Structure 1
Amino acid sequence: MNYYEVLGLTPPVTEKEIRSAYKKALLLHHPDKVKTSEKTISIDLINKAYHTLINDNEEYQKQVIFGDGLDIFNLADFEEKKIDDGVEFYMKCPRCRTESGIKLTEDDLIGGAQQENNEYEVIVQCGDCSLWIRVQYEEE
């Protein structure tokens, strides 16, 4: 269950929607309001979901474009990590917010890229959700 599901939301969402869903979830799952036999979500998890989403919401709304085509990112948006076989590039998925949800290796960049002049583009999917993005980069 991701943080959107904890609060009963589907992205994209506004700050107002996050705040409203947070209050509703607190009332719905508060230990004083729930019978012991009912399945509930912990207040700690609800608080963590709220604080994560409210802090990430501005960044999320700027990054994700909903419409025709795939969202475009630059390889510079990715973090770089050395691995045994070279380098791995990763970033937080803009949809499901999974850390390192989108990963690329040097092989992905070399083998799967479309080239036009000195510019390259590869299409990659998040490892946790169905989001596909386009990653653009230039030849070094």
Structure 2
Amino acid sequence: MTSITQKTHYEILEVERDCSVQDVKNAYRRKLLNIHPDKTNKQLDSDIIAKIKLAHATLSDPQLRTKYDDELIQTYKKSGLISTGEGLDIVNLDDFEYVEEDDMGNFLKDCPRCTGENGFVLTEDDLAENGTPDGFGGYNIIVQCNACSLWLKIKYFDLEDEEEEGQQV
């Protein structure tokens, strides 16, 4: 399992995540040539060779690569990051379970990082009072898990606005 503090196989070979197998092979050769003692006049670090070989073996095999990519995604999620590095995970309010109690609705979701049950809880009032327009007719709200430090950006649409639009059509 990869840690977020370790370089990924993609970083080791200096290739993009969507690179082809041929790109991986070319990068593998280039990296080995660039660290060869005859080319660099430096003592060879056997650890880096092992990392380059492992990265090549993993990214060249479609099954191993898919498994590795899935592990990377899970590692980033558990760390509160997303694999693209663009910031907060974005989820849709439809991913939440709606529970109505005492004429009040709550939206519940287990935390993907700490797996805390109902780690994310939103009330209808939270959505009405704290959501910010996204510029596309919807809203965003940023919330933190009740059990850990993971933050999510929740996208949603105002149900009253949707109902009014449906009646006008």
Q: TM-score, normalised by structure 2?
A: 0.45
Q: 1:77 to 1:103 in 2, by over 3 A?
A: same
Q: Are 2:74 and 1:61 aligned?
A: yes
- Greater per-residue helix proportion: 2
CA RMSD of aligned residues (A): 2.9
1:121 to 140, 159, 162: 140
Q: 1:80 to 1:61 in 2, by over 3 A?
A: same
Q: 1:117 to 1:102 in 2, by over 3 A?
A: same
1:79 corresponds in structure 2 to 97
Q: Which whole-Å CA distance do the structure 1 matches of 2:106 and 2:136 have between them?
A: 24
1:133 corresponds in structure 2 to 152
2:164 corresponds in structure 1 to none
Q: 1:129 to 1:75 in 2, by over 3 A?
A: same
Q: 1:75 to 1:62 in 2, by over 3 A?
A: farther
The higher radius of gyration belongs to 2
Is the 2:88–2:152 Cα contact (8 Å) retained in structure 1? yes
Deviation at 1:136, TM superposition (A): 0.2
Deviation at 1:63, TM superposition (A): 9.4
2:128 corresponds in structure 1 to 110
Matched letter for residue 73 of structure 1: V
Q: Are 2:107 and 1:89 aligned?
A: yes
Deviation at 1:10, TM superposition (A): 9.8
Q: TM-score, normalised by structure 1?
A: 0.53
| Percent of paired sites with the same residue | 45
Q: Which runs of 5+ in 2 are unaligned?
A: 5-69, 160-169
1:26 corresponds in structure 2 to none
Q: Deviations over 1:68-113 (max 9, x none)?
A: 4111000000001012251000101011001100110001101110
Count of aligned pairs: 87
Which secondary structure state, in structure 2, belongs to the residue aligned with residue 69 of structure 1? coil
Q: Deviations over 1:2-24 (max 9, x none)?
A: xxxxxxx9988xxxxxxxxxxxx
Q: Deviations over 1:8-57 (max 9, x none)?
A: x9988xxxxxxxxxxxxxxxxxxxxxxxxxxxxxxxxxxxxxxxxxxxx9
Q: Which runs of 5+ in 1 are unaligned?
A: 1-8, 13-56
1:49 corresponds in structure 2 to none
Which secondary structure state, in structure 2, belongs to the residue aligned with residue 72 of structure 1? strand
